[in-house]
Amino acid sequence: MEVLKVEETAPTKRKLTLKIEPSDLALEAEEAYEELGKAAEIPEFRKGKVPRKLLEYRFDKVIQKEAFADAVQKALDEVTKENEIKAVGRPDFDEAEFEAAMEKAADEAVEISLTLEVVPKFELPEYKGTKLDVPRFEITDEMVQNNLESIRESQAFYKAIDDRSAQKGDSLVVKVRATRGEEEVPALTRDRMFIPSLCDGRDIPEFDEAFVGKDIDQAFEFEFSLDKEHPLYEP
């Protein structure tokens, strides 16, 4: 085998042109047949005692393909080592060209081209003595308190209160029947509506305000309106 050319087609690519001789193929094929002869199991023959001619008759095409691939791989290993090429991934090649070369390689010398992705060469700039500005992260009392409050809220549980009226900040479960004139509004009618925190920034303030000061099981009526931009608004 012979390496005819090594071309740099890009900073991260090398094109290799290899020449494979019939003798290279014969050497690889011989090694493959030796391994096959030790392992082949064919009826009427003991393992390791199958005649070479029979192996060639049955497996020649497979062996020739394997021998050609091994010869190419050895050439690649040689050229990458001699040229200090650090290849990345598998080589790229024209499959039709590769198949055609493989068909003729047992009888004549063939040339094939492959392209390798390689690690680019670069010079490490001077870095000793370089100063880095490491930003300081200051934890304020407010941040600590906010974090503690989040932890408290995540660990909180609901406790029923039956000895006072509803206050701002309470969590309520209410039954609501909303009407517009004589027509019921399904989007706001609920047998169980959960209000997580009364008067805490919800999008219909008048709705929450109506429950402040009310007792458990107390029924009452109130009116409220929706802005035109509200998703539940109907003209």
CA gap 80, 118 in Å, rounded? 10
CB-based burial, 133-151: b 16+ in 10 Å, e otherwise: eeeeeeeeeeeeeeeeeee
Q: Please report which helix (H) or strand (E) contains residue 7, including its range.
A: strand 2-10
pLDDT at res. 235 = 65
| The predicted structure's pLDDT at residue 226 | 78
CB distance 20 to 108 below 8 Å: no
Which is nearest to 213 in space by CA: 152, 153, 150, 170? 170
Q: What are the two backbone dihedrals, phi and then psi, of residue 152, each rounded to the nearest 5 degrees?
A: -60, -45
- Contact partners, residue 185, CB within 8 Å, separation at least 6: 178, 179, 232
Other CB atoms within a 10 A radius of the CB of residue 56 amount to 14
Give the pLDDT score at 72: 86
Residue 114: helix, strand or coil by DSSP?
A: strand
Q: Which fold has domain 2-118?
A: Alpha-Beta Plaits (3.30.70)
| pLDDT by 10s per residue, the chain, length 235 | 677 888 888 888 888 888 888 888 788 888 888 888 887 878 878 887 888 888 888 888 888 888 888 888 888 888 888 888 888 888 888 888 888 888 888 888 888 888 988 887 778 788 888 888 888 888 899 999 989 988 887 887 778 888 899 999 888 899 999 888 888 888 888 898 888 888 887 777 888 888 999 999 999 998 888 777 777 666 6
Of the candidates 60, 62, 74, 58, which has an alpha carbon nearest to the alpha carbon of residue 21?
74
Contact in structure between 175 and 190 (CB atoms under 8 Å):
yes
Query: In this predicted structure, what is the pLDDT of residue 233?
Result: 67
- Residue 171's closest CA among 203, 197, 210? 197
- The structure tokens 């989007």 sit at 187
All structural domains of the chain with their residue ranges: 2-118, 164-230
C-alpha distances in Å from residue 54, one per residue of 25, 32, 125, 147:
20, 14, 63, 80
Alpha helices in the chain (DSSP H): 22-39, 52-82, 95-104, 141-155, 205-209
**CA nearest 19: which of 31, 7, 1?**
1
